[in-house]
Amino acid sequence: MEVGFLGLGIMGKAMAANLLRHGFRVTVWNRTLSKCDELVAMGAAVGDTPASVVAKCKYTIAMLSDPSAALSVVFDKDGVLEQIGEGKGYVDMSTVDAATSCKISEAVKQKGGAFVEAPVSGSKKPAEDGQLVILAAGDKALYDDMVPAFDVLGKKSFFLGEMGNGAKMKLVVNMIMGSMMNAFSEGLCLADKSGLSPQTLLDVLVLCLVMQHPCCYFLYYQIKQPWLCFDLQDLGAIANPMFKMKGPSMLQGSYNPAFPLKHQQKDMRLALSLGDENAVSMPVAAASNEAFKKARSLGLGDLDFSAVHEVLKGTGGQAKA
């Protein structure tokens, strides 16, 4: 199978290399052409412009750094639009906002081409290992054609239906994450003020997740029933990576921003708006959102979203990044 690939940043290079390793014929393009060398050494062809890549390949994948790059590659001179058309497909795997996706989608479709948005979950390492999670939406036929490529790039791809559903899915997940963070922080505060060690709570919460992997491993590979090894009565039932990774720094009042609080709050707000449109009552998310807003009002917006812990601790925002 032949594909074009536009954008060879950290993610894009890993993904294109992966396709090459799995026998795809890949024609790459990057704004700084020298970045193509490594992939040429692996067997890739090079296109001079996005347009020439699209001219050559039936399917073209893009993995760009931000919305402006995503738009530029499509709409600028020598861009995708000049060659896209009937029988050709364009797949944008960049993480962009819904408006950007829709603008590209409409332009491509007007030219007769097919479009799929397919943002991914996962960073460099999963990209190299082909372990991304792919949230695709748009043209179903094009998605079906791309499955062999998605199978190489990700451990799993989802087709979510119409354009925009990828962004919505991320909002729902982030809303759950934001409420869980608040629940977690409240628990840590309650433990602390009630004379329990929050560090012990942390140990109790995440204990089982670490320890049960070996048996899970066995069950998963030997008898294909990985969940037998979990016991709901077990305190590990709600163990999750976030508690494990964020907990210790929260107890130290340290909030190095992996996901800035102001972005988390924006996603909560958008998720609540989505709920409003559809008349879904979500009181826990609403309460969580107000805590994030309080954190913003205390000047914590640029810290990690776990800094909402400062609101609940009631220290009035003496937090550090």
46, 172, 207, 237, 249 from 233: Cα distances, Å:
57, 27, 14, 7, 28
Cβ proximity to its own copies: between 33 and 190 the closer is 190
Report d(CA 237, CA 207) in Å as an integer. 10
* Alpha carbon distance 31, 49 (integer Å): 8
d(CA 229, CA 216): 6
- Which residues have CB under 8 Å from 85's CB, separation 6+? 111, 112, 113
We find the least distance from the C-beta atom of residue 33 to its own copies, in angstroms, to be 29
- The identity of residue 316, as a single letter, is G
Q: Which is nearer to its own copies, 34 or 221 (CB)?
A: 221
Contact present, 7 and 94 (Cβ < 8 Å): yes
Continuous segment of H or E residues that includes residue 4? strand 2-6
For its own copies, the closer of residues 69 and 120 by Cβ is 120
Q: For its own copies, which is the closer residue by CB, 99 or 190?
A: 190
Residue number with CB closer to its own copies (34 or 233) = 233
Give least dist CB 236 to its own copies, A: 7
Q: CA-to-CA distance for 317 and 297, rounded, in angstroms?
A: 10
* CA atoms of 89 and 71, how far apart (whole Å): 16
Q: Please name the amino acid found at residue 244.
A: K
Q: At closest approach, how far in Å is the CB of 26 from its own copies?
A: 25
Least Å distance between CB 319 and its own copies? 14
Q: How far is the CB of 124 from its own copies (least distance, A)?
A: 9
Shortest Cβ distance from residue 12 to its own copies (Å)?
A: 16
The Cα 181–Cα 173 span in angstroms is 12
Q: Which two tokens stand for residue 185?
A: 């922080």
Cα–Cα dist 72/30, whole Å: 12
The residues carrying an active-site annotation are 170
Beta strands of 53-170 (E only): which ranges? 59-62, 89-92, 114-117, 120-121, 132-138, 154-159
71: tokens are 């738009």
